[in-house]
Amino acid sequence: MVQDESTRVRLGWPDTGAAELEEVREVLESGMLTMGPKVEEFEAGLARACEVEHALAVSSGTAALHLAVLAFGLEPGDEVLVPAYTFPATANVVALAGLRPVLVDVDPETMNIDPAKIEVGPRTKALLAVHLFGRPLRLHELPDVPLLEDAAGALGARYRGRACGSLGVAGCLSFHPRKIVTTGEGGAVTTNDAAFADQVRLLRNHGWRSLAPADMPVPGLNYRLSDILCAVGIPQLAHLDELLETRTQIAAGYSERLAHLPVLLPRADDGDVHGWQAYVIQVDDRDRVLTELRAQGIEAQIGTYSLPLLAAYRDQGEFPGARRVFERALALPFHTRLTEPELDRVAEALDKLVSRH
């Protein structure tokens, strides 16, 4: 069956419109395209949303992770624990900082790091843990190791009443288009530690403390986020609660429709708030289901990656939890413009594909 554009159910669709255009117009007319007032305004909104003292806007979630790891000030060869099932940037930044990412298997039910699998060694200096797809991790089960949160998909999520992004030494957000708030590309580091924030601020801007007189105490990078992109994020951030409410309703709409099927549905632990970056189920024979959905014009996608199955991390051994989730996870179309008929259509397609086997 050939699908035309109008009948395609899209995987993601950013919630951007007239308000974002107006904000961008203001920036373009001001002539102040970077390091201007929109950056500070966006950062203030992020700090409020994550309930932290400091938020530093940067050019991507990967840049946020890289700067957070660098700002930790670890020694070459020090070890950072990272989940074996995550977007590869989580581990890549550790390796690129001259440190050793030590993979930890994930719990196949939560898809987050499995606290029972964590082994703290003499060189373990930090735990870089992910709230995967927006599901808060089980902080109370983690060992007493400095925590960096990969909160790329967890803006708005809460662990036992506390905002994700405020739970460790620092949090890292992403504003990629499949995230609840998007700037096209973008990210941020959140922290309550003023010295850590200061270090990130230096590192994202070449290492400059001041230009006149020229003062560069450390070598840095250009990971700044322009005012144009911060402007895109400001109106969405102002409506974060509504965006999360809509995504929560859509997730509930899926969960009701799919409850009778032999699939594992995503949820948060009792007392937590899911950030609903994505709606990722687990299903047997995932590749067949994915291919069939796509053939019907339903843009599904795999969840994310099992790092030990990638050449860069193959030397770390076998991680059965990560392998299982990698083979079974299926991201369904998920965005605020998804309609009830589209939810019905995805659910009916899954009903036929999954209950047949």
Which residues are tagged catalytic?
A: 179
CB 206 within 8 A of CB 220: yes
Residue nearest to ligand PLP (CB): 61
Rounded least distance, CB 70 to ligand PLP, Å: 15
Rounded least distance, CB 298 to ligand PLP, Å: 21
Pseudo-torsion of CA 253, 254, 255, 257, nearest 10°?
Answer: 90
Please give the size of the binding site for ligand PLP, defined by CB under 6 A. 14
Q: Phi and psi (nearest 5°) for 276?
A: 45, 55
Residues listed for the chain: 357
Between CA 146 and CA 126 the distance in angstroms is 5
Instruction: Please report, as residue ranges, which positions from 207 to 226 form the binding site for ligand PLP (by CB under 6 A).
Output: none
Stretch that binds ligand PLP, among 13-21, 85-93, 205-213, 330-338 (CB under 6 A): 85-93
Q: Name which position in 47, 52, 80, 86 contacts ligand PLP (CB under 6 A).
A: 86
* Residue 187 touching ligand PLP (CB under 6 A): yes
Query: How far, in whole angstroms, is CA 209 from its chain's centroid?
Result: 30
Rounded least distance, CB 57 to ligand PLP, Å: 12
Rounded least distance, CB 179 to ligand PLP, Å: 7
Between CA 189 and CA 195 the distance in angstroms is 13
Question: What counts of helices (H) and strands (E) characterise the chain?
Answer: 10, 14
* Residue 233 touching ligand PLP (CB under 6 A): no
Q: Give the DSSP letter string of 296-334.
A: TTB--EE--EEGGGSGGGGGG---HHHHHHHHHEEEEP-
Instruction: Please report, as residue ranges, which positions from 48 to 67 form the binding site for ligand PLP (by CB under 6 A).
Output: 60-62
Instruction: Please report, as residue ranges, which positions from 121 to 160 form the binding site for ligand PLP (by CB under 6 A).
Output: 130, 150, 152-153
> Which residues would be at the binding site for ligand PLP (CB under 6 A)?
60-62, 86-87, 89-90, 130, 150, 152-153, 174, 176, 187
